[in-house]
Amino acid sequence: MAPKLTDQRDIDFVLYEQLKVDTFLASDKYKLFNKKMFDMVIKEAKNLAVKEILPTYTECDKIGVSFENGIVNVPECLRKPHKLLVEGEWSALTEDPEYGGQGLPVTIAQAAMEYLTGANYVLTTYPVLSHGAGKMIDLFGTPEQKDLFLKKLYTGVWGGSMLLTESEAGSDVGALTTSAKKRDDGTWEITGSKIFITNGEQNLTDNIIHPVLARIEDAPAGTKGISLFIVPKIWVNTDGTLGEPNDVVCTGVEEKMGLHGSPTCSLSLGSKGNCRGFLLGKPNRGMEIMFHMMNEVRLEVGTQAFTSANLAYLHALDYAKQRLQGRSIEKFANHGANQVPIIRHPDVKRMLLKMKSYVEGMRSLIYYTAFCFDKKETAIDEKEVMHYSNLVEILTPLVKAYSSEKGFDVCVEAMQVFGGYGYTKEYPVEQTVRDCKIASIYEGANGIQAMDFLGRKIAGNKGLMLTALINEIKSTILTTKAHDNLKELAIKLEAVLILFETTCKNTSSALFSKHMASAFACAHPLLEAAGDIIMAWMLLWRAIIADEKLDTKESAFYQGKIKAAQFFITTIIPVTKGKLAAITYENNPAASMEEHLF
């Protein structure tokens, strides 16, 4: 029997016991919903994921995409579930019903997407990118642009992409050379080439809408001179019908380590001098607009890594319960003793508990970030709105970077549980490792996320984003101290939180001194330490709830929450303390290392 796709009981725990999302029902925004409707959406997502999407996971990896004469053929097995995603309007769960949406809270949509993404992330990239392109048009488009594109993008009828990267302008987006020139009819002529474009060409949808970053003639240098354009693969007439193919040509697809069912394309724009596009928003505001999509996609990437980790953990747990190997440690000297399931061995228990801690902590972190989006939208007090806005801002790079790295680590740990079998294609964990790795690289490599975390989120806005986060953690620590059997865990976390706060202050101050390079050399270690502390916070928060329910019929479930918090805070957080102590924000050897010494 195959292991379950995810842990529905833990999803319910986070939604209704930790975050209490049913309290949203009292707000005007969600007064037409009820808890039964929330649960129904998640249940339908589960059914679709298990019955239709999960069976494509291994098959689409084996088949992969093919590229012939400028056309990308997607694995045929994805066609039916993609059609079901579109028909069910699953990519528009949080949007206005006027544009095909359901108007749900982001937190509930996150729970549904855990199932859909976890079943096969490759498939969900198609509607996710469609939604992202639609969101920018929703926020910055003209009424005419919304009428032409929005509903078909939100519901995934048309595909979407994101054209930023060029061969000489990857993370340094300001160096791009793609140009835009205004035409007499009010549209823009786009000329240039883009690379590493996820789903830049595919045959699942009748059209693909490309958001393209380009520079208008005489625009300022760098990112301040970049504008954003809507470039359809097939031109869209004013009445919404499809016209002639646009001058957008796929010139190749990458052979990748993973995500074989998702094409990573190189695109040529305007090679025949006839690539047309619409300006989105104001000139030279392209990066500001694109960041709305980037932040959304970064949360999706964190979800991708988390669901990969969750799936790998559940496979490893199932295998460990069934795989017989060796004698129990208590009967090790008795060579006649029966073999036991490997879950009985202490080191396997250690690996599984470590994976459980990260997976459950990541679930709470990602759902909590979605919850902050909802709180920001439903709050009526301006101070509360700002508080949750600050939390969203500081948590976004952490969700992307920390989840992608620790999610991958969990996948690797799961492979270790399988032993040699894990390294073969006989078990799916091998694919999970390959598919997960990209999460730390694309949509803003994690080094960029770390620089953003330090330079903008910690040092920016007068430190209010960091203050909002730390105050939330302190509140949980204070509550925990009232629980006798959790008090020591709270004290341990409090000690490392104090060190973290001091380290953040010193490192951000160094940004405005001659030690700026040294400070940025510490950005990633600081982000990693922050992620550890947030994991501990989430697990401690969960443990508080569990501690009050140990006498119920689900005592084993709740005891597992406490064990996860104990494990993480007593074995991982001491290492975090060492990471913080090792941060050298002045005269860092990495910053002073000369290139010729390598």
Residue 246: CB atoms within 10 Å: 22
- CA-only gyration radius of the chain, Å: 25
Report how far residue 280's alpha carbon sits from residue 209's, in angstroms, rounded to the nearest whole number: 12
Please tell me the predicted confidence (pLDDT) of residue 597. Answer: 83
Of 334, 336, 203, 194, residue with least CA distance to 263: 203
- Does position 1 have pLDDT exceeding 60, yes or no? no
Sign of the four-CA dihedral 245, 246, 251, 254: negative
pLDDT tens across 89-133, in order?
999 999 999 999 999 999 999 999 999 999 999 999 999 999 999
Centre a 10 Å sphere on the Cβ of residue 317 and count the other Cβ atoms it contains.
Answer: 18
Cα(6)–Cα(310) distance, rounded to whole angstroms? Answer: 7
* Encoded tokens for 420: 């040699």
| pLDDT at 297 (0 to 100) | 85
More confidently predicted of 496 and 297 = 496
DSSP string, 427-480: STHHHHHHHHHGGGTSSS-HHHHHHHIIIIIISSGGGHHHHHHHHHHHHHHHHH
For the question of whether the overall pTM of this predicted structure is more than 0.85, the answer is: yes
Q: Tell me: the pLDDT tens digits for 357-400? A: 999 999 999 999 999 999 999 998 999 999 999 999 999 999 99
State the average pLDDT over residues 219-223: 92
Written as one letter, the residue type at 213 is L
The catalytic position among 89, 114, 360, 443 is: 443
Measured over the CA atoms of residue 146, residue 152, residue 155 and residue 158, the dihedral's sign is: negative
Give dist(CA 572, CA 531) in Å, integer: 11
pLDDT score at 435: 98
Residue 361: CB partners within 8 Å, gap ≥ 6? 534, 535, 536, 538, 539, 564, 568
- Whether the per-residue pLDDT at 3 is higher than 90: the answer is no
Mean pLDDT of 173-185: 92
Cα–Cα dist 565/559, whole Å: 10
DSSP structural state of residue 32 = T
59 is known as an active-site residue: no
Quote the CA–CA distance of 124 and 129 in Å, as a whole number.
Answer: 9
- 67: which strand partners? 72
Looking at residues 135-160, what average pLDDT do you find?
97
Residue 2 pLDDT grade (very low, low, confident, very high; cuts 50, 70, 90): low
Long-range contacts of 284-287 (CB under 8 A, 24+ apart): 284/216, 284/219, 284/220, 284/224, 284/225, 284/226, 284/227, 285/227, 285/228, 286/213, 286/214, 286/226, 286/227, 286/228, 287/173, 287/213, 287/223, 287/226
- Average pLDDT score over residue span 402-429: 97
Question: For 66-75, how does the pLDDT look when each residue is reduced to its tens digit (9 = 90+)?
Answer: 999 889 999 9
d(CA 457, CA 172): 20
**In angstroms, rounded to a whole number, what is the distance separating the alpha carbons of residues 496 and 473?**
12
Banded pLDDT at 226 (limits 50, 70, 90) = very high
Q: What's the mean pLDDT in 146-171?
A: 92
pLDDT of residue 471: 98
Measured CA to CA, the distance from residue 138 to residue 151 in angstroms comes to 10
Tell me what percent of the chain is helix, strand and coil, each rounded to the nearest 5: 60, 10, 25
Beta bridge partners, 191, equal 179
Instruction: With CA atoms as reference, report the closest residue to 439 among 243, 534, 298.
Output: 298
